[in-house]
Structure 1
Amino acid sequence: MMLKRFEVTNFKQFNSLKWDFSKVRNYDFSTDCLIDLPCGKLIKTALVYGRNSSGKSNLGFAIFDIVQHLVDKVTRPDAYLYYANADHPDDPVSFKYTFELDGKELLYQYTKTSPLELVQESLYVDNEEVFSWNQKTNTSNFRNLSSFGFKNLNFVYKDSKLSFLRYLANNSPLSENSPIKNLMDFVGSMLWFRRVDTGNSFMGLLSVSDNLDSFIISHNLTEKFENFLNEHEVKERLKVAKSPDGREGLYFAHQQALPFFSVASSGTLALTVLFYWYELLKINQPSFIFMDEFDAFYHFEVAEKIFNLAKKLNIQTILTTHNTNLLKHANTRADCCFLLQNEVIKPFSDLTQREIREGNNLEKLFLSHEFEC
């Protein structure tokens, strides 16, 4: 399953925003940024650019709103404190997700008045309505549920604030090929993360958070982590030692051992977060990744290595950045690079009349304002 289109209305700074991952050009380079599906090609690895306060982080929060009300995974309630657009605080917030699943198109949309207050919800499979309900108009349609294999549901004990899709999934036997099971599994495996000064900030995928050094030590990854740091220009040796309170931790191996998390640079800590997720992905396979400001603490050469590491993942991945050095056709392509500006997100390929060729310098074009929403 892949996310094909996303729309949001009245969320934070966005009056209305639409994003289409199926708008792919016929470039014959950097095809590893795409994935082939029965419906055609979709964007697999996307770079998102935008000025400060353009909404790059809020875009990620908008996409991950679905995690809050469908599954019990780690969330960031602070990211949703100011929910509705401040110019229209009393208007509802609407979300619309279109997914591609084995040649079928799933459309899930819902409306909220607050992060936990649903007032409308509907689900369609290939334009056929599975269910819908609307509190404002006091209308609903659950008649088609039986044709999708759902029978004998007890509506009496359904929590009115709870998503019906969630209720349906949790109270019905679902076959392995059920589109609803696939949708719930996809949402339950979505991952948003970024490195912040206070540590590893993330949403989705896990039900509890791990301690980074405990994870590395308990999985016998210290040597592998040291090699990872060395490959990314951090030329240090590591060891495991006990602190005065008896707890094992990571240390830089000098004549005077230095506690890793006390003295490591911001860039090294960012690499630590990346290593943690890269190894954890082998244990808990994510369905979708949003890496916010992924290279904020990296040298541009390290950032390029990390981006190419992300491209190797067979997972739809979005990375927000300010790093124009990544804009090379050896790395990416104009239909996989997006500009977020004035509440509009569009690929570079749609923001110019110029025919983009492999020999064009994307970075130079971008810096000369060739691409403007």
Structure 2
Amino acid sequence: MLRKFKVSNFKSFEKGFELDLTNVNGYEFNKDSIKSGVVNNAIIYGHNGVGKSNLALAIFDIIEHLTDKQRNEAVYKNYLNAYCDPNLAYFYYEFSINSKIVVYEYKKSDYKTIVYERFQIDDEELVLFDRTKTSNATISFKGAETLKTDIENNQLSILKYIKNNTELVHNDVNTTFQAFFTFIEQMLYFRSLLNSTTHLGFDIDGKNILEDIAKKKNTKNFETFLNQAGIECKLSEVEELGRKTIAFNLNGEDLPFYEVASTGTIALSLFYFWYQDFKENSKVSFLFIDEFDAFYHHSLSSLIVEKLKETGVQFVLTTHNTAIMTNDLLRPDCYFEMTKNRISSLSKSTQKELREAHDLEKMYKAGSFDIE
């Protein structure tokens, strides 16, 4: 699980910005939204332009140099903050993996160039590579004693280099190191806006959404899902250019899905496409959906959150929809208010003792959680 994340000198984040998912309260309701003292289900609010989307890009920057997953360089334009000094973006991650605290921090001078890396497990520093001071990395993994430490390629992560070039001794530390990589490789970000979608992390391998749903024999389940979402419909599987896909069946006539579907229904099809994987296969380790309900009615937004909670996956969602800011769905330490300079849960943004009966939306609109 992701426990904490810090970033500075990246895009809109000039100074240190921290998301702390460990700062929880002892509420006796919606306990399933907290796992091992860490927020498992988080929803972020904030005015337009405060950096919610940039926070997602910052968290998923790690994908670029630790995995071979699909990259989207376009979303990482204007990488460094315009006012940053020195000209280095800084990232800090703290994870809970195999019941151990894993810390990874690094600095970059641009999207690809890595200047500094440090990695530790349970306070034991295992890797340190400061390219501003030396061309040699300090590596303390058992089994990596003979590994070359002089790495000239400043676009190659020292962690990825270790993973790909050593047969590490089998012990708890090295097993956790491998599990750390598995976690990173299974992180997923996606966003659906008008005429465009963005995805980072977890591979889709060029899959077609409807073809993939049909191939996995989930067409009937997808139909049920759409009906639960308030979209009364019947779906059919049809052949198109020699491939099986999905159509709406209206009065016995099959009509192409995307020609009939509303914008909200198209967004739901994208959500369901990913939902298959983290519901049935538990392949996704961490999920971030930006503006997750941009095209949804508030009741549908609540349904999506409930569906995500059922999967058990750790997720962070951004939204402007205050109708779902309710203790019936999550709890005050799972809702976060974000400004340009900080982010804090509702429970940490007021001196009032919040209870299950409190109307969080009404308090939010009245300014009870203004943190700046």
Letter in structure 2 aligned against 1:305 = L
Verify the 8 A CA contact 1:74 1:209 in the aligned structure 2.
Answer: no
Please state whether the residue corresponding to 1:328 is helix, strand or coil. coil
Give CA deviations for 1:12-52 in whole Å, capped at 9, x if unaligned.
0011201111101111111111012xxxx111000100111
The 10-residue stretch of structure 1 (175-184 or 68-77) with the greater mean CA deviation from structure 2: 175-184
Aligned equivalents of 1:152, 1:90: Cα separation in 2: 34
Letter in structure 2 aligned against 1:105 = I
The 10-residue stretch of structure 1 (350-359 or 158-167) with the greater mean CA deviation from structure 2: 158-167
Aligned counterpart in structure 1 of residue 120 of structure 2, from 113, 120, 124: 124
Give CA deviations for 1:119-153 in whole Å, capped at 9, x if unaligned.
111111222211211122237552533xx332221
Find the counterpart in structure 1 of residue 145 from structure 2. 151
Aligned equivalents of 1:271, 1:89: Cα separation in 2: 42
Please state whether the residue corresponding to 2:9 is helix, strand or coil. strand
1:100 and 2:99 matched: no
Aligned equivalents of 1:225, 1:98: Cα separation in 2: 36
| Structure-1-length-normalised TM-score | 0.92
Verify the 8 A CA contact 2:71 2:200 in the aligned structure 1.
Answer: yes
Letter in structure 1 aligned against 2:94 = T
Please state whether the residue corresponding to 2:225 is helix, strand or coil. helix
1:158 deviates by 6.2
Equivalenced residues, count: 365
Find the counterpart in structure 2 of residue 322 from structure 1. 320
Give CA deviations for 1:217-242 in whole Å, capped at 9, x if unaligned.
21222222111111111111111223
Aligned counterpart in structure 2 of residue 43 of structure 1, from 27, 35, 39: 39
Tell me: CA distance 1:314–1:173, structure 2 relative to 1, closer, same or farther (3 Å): farther
Structure 1: unaligned runs, 5 residues or longer: none
Please state whether the residue corresponding to 2:245 is helix, strand or coil. strand
Verify the 8 A CA contact 1:84 1:90 in the aligned structure 2.
Answer: no
Find the counterpart in structure 2 of residue 6 from structure 1. 5
Verify the 8 A CA contact 1:249 1:259 in the aligned structure 2.
Answer: no
Aligned counterpart in structure 2 of residue 211 of structure 1, from 208, 211, 230: 208
Find the counterpart in structure 2 of residue 28 from structure 1. 28
Letter in structure 1 aligned against 2:216 = H
Tell me: CA distance 1:130–1:370, structure 2 relative to 1, closer, same or farther (3 Å): same
Aligned equivalents of 2:34, 2:230: Cα separation in 1: 29
Tell me: CA distance 1:66–1:176, structure 2 relative to 1, closer, same or farther (3 Å): farther
Letter in structure 2 aligned against 1:153 = L
| Structure-2-length-normalised TM-score | 0.93
Alignment of 1:302-317 (within 5 A): 302-317=300-315
1:58 and 2:54 matched: yes
Letter in structure 1 aligned against 2:146 = N
Find the counterpart in structure 2 of residue 286 from structure 1. 284
1:298 and 2:292 matched: no
1:364 and 2:354 matched: no
Tell me: CA distance 1:209–1:284, structure 2 relative to 1, closer, same or farther (3 Å): farther
Tell me: CA distance 1:102–1:221, structure 2 relative to 1, closer, same or farther (3 Å): closer
1:161 and 2:159 matched: no
Aligned equivalents of 1:359, 1:143: Cα separation in 2: 53
Find the counterpart in structure 2 of residue 171 from structure 1. 165
Aligned equivalents of 2:105, 2:135: Cα separation in 1: 16
Give CA deviations for 1:61-82 in whole Å, capped at 9, x if unaligned.
0000001100011232111111
1:181 and 2:178 matched: yes
Tell me: CA distance 1:140–1:355, structure 2 relative to 1, closer, same or farther (3 Å): farther
Please state whether the residue corresponding to 1:257 is helix, strand or coil. strand
Structure 2: unaligned runs, 5 residues or longer: none
Overall identity of the aligned pairs, in %: 33
Tell me: CA distance 1:89–1:157, structure 2 relative to 1, closer, same or farther (3 Å): closer
